[in-house]
């Protein structure tokens, strides 16, 4: 009599790895190769005029970047823009979610109106906010004229352009945050609010003790996502301000574009992109250690 054929069962980890293998191979092709090629470019001085040449310079570009005041200025602008964008996006997203979670007439229409800004491309958002902020066609000029003012109000200036960029970026991203938070709000049992009413908690106490705790992990995740998207943002800033006036809104992505495609110094631009990558990784790790690790352990 033939012995029964043995079957080998995969462990959960092996089965998950097998399912993820095609994705890992795909990521290796579309991420690892460009990243490796960018690292190669960062270590070469590439010239096009008089024939293509690539001269190995090692880490010379990385060292030279740290001596440039324009680099450090763009880092400060990037940090300022990112902080303002993230704060505005999370506040607007949470506010929209709380409003949409309340019983109201035409709830479907309201949700459609809230999600519309996220459907607009960053290029279109840049054009719209550039017109709204300019002195000739801007919203500020229209409001001033309504109250009898005659001077143009231009917000694309050295004092306010970063805030205009942050508001436009938050306007585009906040609806996505709002809908994920809204889905999270729908999972909170209504009896918790009934108990809060029995305990005579104030609206603020109810929000802090009932509403906010289930949202904290979602808020952490989208804080990380918004941070990454804001740091690597280029097209919206290019269309709205072009890095100006002067270089006041020249974030790090704009400096990389300028060095790589205007000055045609691809090696220098590639090296600068690795500093941007380090900033993105450092920011997300900092958020994890200061906030995410606590949320994951609870």
Residue range 102-153, pLDDT digits in tens:
988 888 899 999 999 999 999 999 999 999 998 877 888 888 888 888 788 8
The answer to whether 135 and 154 are in contact (CB under 8 A) is: yes
Q: What is the CATH number of domain 41-297?
A: 1.10.3720.10
Section 84-109 average pLDDT: 94
Of 258, 267, 236, the C-alpha closest to 71 is: 258
Query: Which of the 8 DSSP states describes residue 245?
Result: S
The reported pLDDT for the residue numbered 5 is 55
Specify whether the CB–CB gap between 253 and 28 falls below 8 A: no
Q: What is the pLDDT of residues 244-280, one digit of tens each?
A: 898 999 999 999 999 999 988 999 999 999 999 999 9
Dihedral angle computed from the Cα positions of residues 23, 29, 31 and 36, in that order, rounded to the nearest 10 degrees: 150
End-to-end alpha carbon distance in the chain: 56
Q: What is the value of pTM for the model shown?
A: 0.89
Mean of pLDDT over the chain: 90
* Cβ pair 219, 181 in contact under 8 A: yes
Average pLDDT of the segment spanning 278-295: 92
Contact 246, 215 (CB under 8 A): no
CA–CA dist 269, 43 (Å, integer): 11
Cross-strand bridge partners of residue 54: 46
Backbone angles phi, psi at 45, to 5 degrees: -95, 105
Residue predicted with more confidence, 10 or 278: 278
Q: How far is CA 31 from CA 27, 39, 226, 247, 284, in A?
A: 5, 12, 21, 31, 19
- Number of other residues whose CB lies within 10 A of the CB of residue 74: 25
């Amino acid at each position: 009599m033939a012995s029964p054929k043995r079957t080998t069962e995969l462990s959960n980890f092996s089965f998950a790895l097998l399912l993820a293998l095609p994705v890992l191979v795909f990521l290796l092709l579309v991420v690892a190769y460009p990243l490796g090629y960018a690292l190669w470019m960062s270590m070469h001085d590439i010239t096009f005029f008089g024939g293509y040449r690539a001269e190995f310079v090692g880490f010379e570009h990385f060292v030279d970047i740290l001596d440039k005041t324009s680099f450090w200025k763009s880092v400060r602008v990037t940090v300022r823009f990112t902080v303002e964008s993230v704060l505005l996006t999370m506040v607007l997203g949470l506010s929209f979610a709380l409003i949409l979670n309340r019983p109201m007439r035409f709830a479907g229409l309201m949700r459609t109106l809230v999600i519309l800004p996220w459907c607009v491309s960053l290029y279109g958002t840049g054009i719209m906010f550039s017109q709204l902020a300019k002195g000739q066609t801007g919203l500020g000029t229209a409001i001033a004229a309504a109250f009898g003012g005659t001077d143009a109000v231009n917000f694309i200036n050295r004092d306010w352009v970063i805030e205009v960029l942050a508001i436009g970026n938050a306007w585009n991203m906040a609806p996505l945050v709002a809908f994920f938070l809204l889905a999270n709000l729908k999972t909170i049992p209504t009896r918790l609010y009934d108990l809060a009413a029995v305990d005579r908690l104030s609206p603020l106490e109810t929000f802090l003790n009932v509403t906010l705790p289930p949202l904290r992990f979602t808020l952490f995740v989208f804080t990380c996502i918004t941070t990454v998207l804001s740091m690597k943002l280029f097209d919206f800033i290019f269309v709205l301000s072009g890095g100006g006036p002067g270089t006041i809104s020249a974030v790090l992505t704009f400096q990389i574009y300028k060095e790589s495609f205007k000055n045609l110094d691809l090696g220098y631009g590639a090296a600068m992109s690795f500093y941007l990558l380090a900033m993105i990784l450092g920011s997300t790790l900092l958020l994890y250690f200061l906030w995410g690790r606590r949320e994951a352990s609870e």
